[in-house]
Amino acid sequence: MMTQYSRAFKSGDEVHINRLYHMVTGIMRSPGEYAWEWLKTWKGPGSIWFVFDDSRKADDQLIAQYSLIPIPFSFWGKPYLAGKTENCMSHPDFRGKGLYFFHEKEYFEVAKEQFQLFFTTAGDVAKGAPGKVRMKLGYKAFDYWVTLSYWLDKTELLNEIDTKLPAIIKSRAWLGNSIKSILGNLIYWYTRTGIDISNTDIKIHSEANAPLQQIEKLWQDNAELYGISVDRSVEYMKWRINDNPYVTHHYLCYYDGGVLKGYVIYTIQDKTIHIVDILAGNKEELIFKIMLEGLKTEGRKLALSQIKCYTASQNQFLVEVLGSSKLINYTGLFSRKNAPKNKPATQIFVYISDELKADHDVWDNNSWYITDLIKEGRPYTARPIE
């Protein structure tokens, strides 16, 4: 008599998936949000495999899910298909029993027939379990995410510093206030220098009038320079950015002689500009600086508090470009020298097929250009638990 069995997704499974997803995450996802992420991607439905247990009650038989979102990648201008693990989950009743690993292992081999690259951005929600599973399958712990910030509002910067100060310092009000004031003023005035963009052609577009065809051409003309990165095709950008039901985006575009030379895609949430993607023709640092200065100008006009950009910690080119525009990594600013070094909360795990290892050094972090465009496109602020 059948008890546990596995199979691929079929129509109607989304009801069971969303029920388990709510149980695991506390988030109630609408049918439309699910359809966008999994059923109507830029390349059709994602790849999903399940384990069911038919001995359980009818509305609680889904006990494990392994799933991959298709992401187009470019390796020095050559297109490949990547699978991003997402919504991989195990029913609370079956965690720690060894069921999930063997389920993913079985269908990982099936997925290799479709994908040449696999990656995971594993947070600390599952206490490192996703990373451990992927390492056993042959993934490498490749890098981790860092956040670089530019503060537009001094008061907000001082408030942020106050939250970072150790309790022993905050307990002495005079000391805490002094450190906060000195450090805040140093950071704020250090980051005020910029370049003059008064004579530059910068336009901000909504999703409805975003120049996707021009962005695709800019990308195609420069893909080889950017090494390993997301392939910015019209189809992918329309799905990932414009059709996204969670987030509204804006496009800051820099033109020279009427020709698109660079762009920044961003969203605004809780008075913060979050950079989703940024790209400049010929990887010219000056174009990056012009666009980031334009973003600062827009942020000040809207009375926002800060700008944030996310990338891999060893993505040296982008980290340096952002740094030259005074975006700073605040992560280790208040860490104690003698404190034990904890592992980063969010790591990037990568599996690369033999086919992709033939050319260039694919494991050199500087061969990669990573922005938030490779993520699944969820809100940057926490959604309420329902």
Q: How many domains does the chain have?
A: 2
Tell whether 60 is covered by a domain: yes
Tell whether 156 is covered by a domain: no
* Residues 193 and 336 placed together within one structural domain of the fold: yes
* Residues 340 and 207 placed together within one structural domain of the fold: yes
Assign 122 a pLDDT band (cuts: 50, 70, 90): low
Between 47-51, 152-156, 279-283, the lowest mean confidence (pLDDT) is in 152-156
Task: Identify the pLDDT of residue 192.
Answer: 83
User: Is the predicted pLDDT of residue 370 greater than 90, yes or no?
Assistant: yes
Which comes out higher in pLDDT, residue 183 or 215?
215
* Residues 116 and 186 placed together within one structural domain of the fold: no
* Residues 120 and 216 placed together within one structural domain of the fold: no
Which comes out higher in pLDDT, residue 335 or 240?
240
User: Is the predicted pLDDT of residue 286 greater than 90, yes or no?
Assistant: yes
Tell whether 366 is covered by a domain: no
Tell whether 241 is covered by a domain: yes
* End residue of a domain, out of 118, 144, 170: 144
- Mean pLDDT in residue range 273-291: 98
pLDDT tens per residue across span 317-361 = 999 999 999 998 876 555 544 444 445 556 899 999 988 887 678
Tell whether 272 is covered by a domain: yes
- Mean pLDDT in residue range 150-168: 85
Read off the pTM: 0.92
Instruction: Return the closest-CA partner of residue 195 out of 281, 308, 292, 275.
Output: 292
- Mean pLDDT in residue range 210-221: 98
Domain that holds residue 29: 4-144
Tell whether 354 is covered by a domain: no
* Residues 187 and 256 placed together within one structural domain of the fold: yes
Where residue 69 sits, what CATH number does that domain have?
Answer: 3.40.630.30
Tell whether 371 is covered by a domain: no
* Residues 315 and 188 placed together within one structural domain of the fold: yes
User: Is the predicted pLDDT of residue 34 greater than 90, yes or no?
Assistant: yes
Task: Identify the pLDDT of residue 126.
Answer: 47
- Mean pLDDT in residue range 235-243: 98
